[in-house]
């Protein structure tokens, strides 16, 4: 049946910068269960991205006290290097950074971000902050695709910057198309159904 063909969304040829990884509904990994990961870099050496829907309950001022005026929440970007701070944004003129896909930038100047916050040029829907990141060594992500851990999708700025983190997985699944929406109704553990 066509609606059950998830293999067309796990083809490694779909991987690339700016793609999203959507955890399969039955993934039990505590870090990645029902997660959506934005890939910032994918090449033959490995992959780097950020979990978009793993809130920490912290604001940027909890991590960087000088920025307590900013109303920017901080998510856990993944299990790697939890002592690092990263940002995705859509305001390159003020902050800089490297364009991952059209209109979405990774990194930039934290000093410039602080200045932009102080003069009121930054909205919470313009910047995503992360502690840590998700990383895969050479071939690791491809192996996870082969075992059925992830679906590959396209990102939209709305999903990335404006979707509530608690609705992120469901909205990412919906972005795959109507034929995949049934995944939203599957339990995390089918044995408990």
Per residue in 105-119, pLDDT (tens digit) is 999 999 999 888 888
Measured in degrees and rounded to the nearest 5, phi and psi for residue 165 equal -60, -35
Q: How far apart are CA 97 and CA 187, in angstroms?
A: 39
pLDDT on residue 12:
77
pLDDT for res 3: 47
Task: Decide yes or no: CATH 3.10.350.10 for domain 2-179.
Answer: no
Report DSSP letters for 80-119, one per residue: EEEEEEEEEES-HHHH--EEEETTEEE---HHHHHHHHHT
Residue 41 three-state SS? strand
Read off the pLDDT of each residue in 173-185 and give the average, rounded to a whole number: 88
Q: Report domain extents, the chain.
A: 2-179
pTM over 0.75: yes
Measuring CA to CA, which residue among 95, 109, 91, 100 is closest to residue 16? 100
β-pair type (127-137, 73-76): parallel
């Amino acid at each position: 049946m066509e609606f059950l063909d998830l293999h067309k969304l796990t083809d490694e040829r779909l991987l690339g910068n700016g793609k999203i990884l959507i955890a399969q509904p039955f993934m039990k990994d505590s870090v990645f269960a029902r997660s959506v990961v934005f890939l910032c870099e994918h090449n033959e050496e490995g992959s780097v991205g950020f979990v978009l829907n793993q809130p920490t309950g912290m604001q940027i001022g909890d991590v960087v006290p000088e920025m307590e005026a900013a109303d920017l929440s901080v998510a856990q970007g993944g299990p790697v290097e939890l002592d690092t701070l990263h940002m995705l944004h859509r305001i390159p003129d003020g902050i800089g950074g490297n364009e991952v896909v059209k209109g979405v930038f990774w990194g930039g100047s934290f000093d410039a971000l602080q200045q932009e916050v102080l003069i009121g040029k930054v909205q919470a829907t313009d910047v995503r902050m992360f502690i840590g990141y998700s990383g895969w060594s050479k071939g690791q992500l491809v192996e996870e695709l082969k075992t059925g851990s992830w679906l590959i999708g396209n990102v939209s700025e709305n999903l990335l910057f404006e979707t509530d983190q608690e609705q992120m997985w469901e909205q990412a699944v919906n972005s795959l198309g109507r034929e995949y929406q049934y995944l939203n109704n599957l339990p995390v553990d089918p044995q408990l159904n």
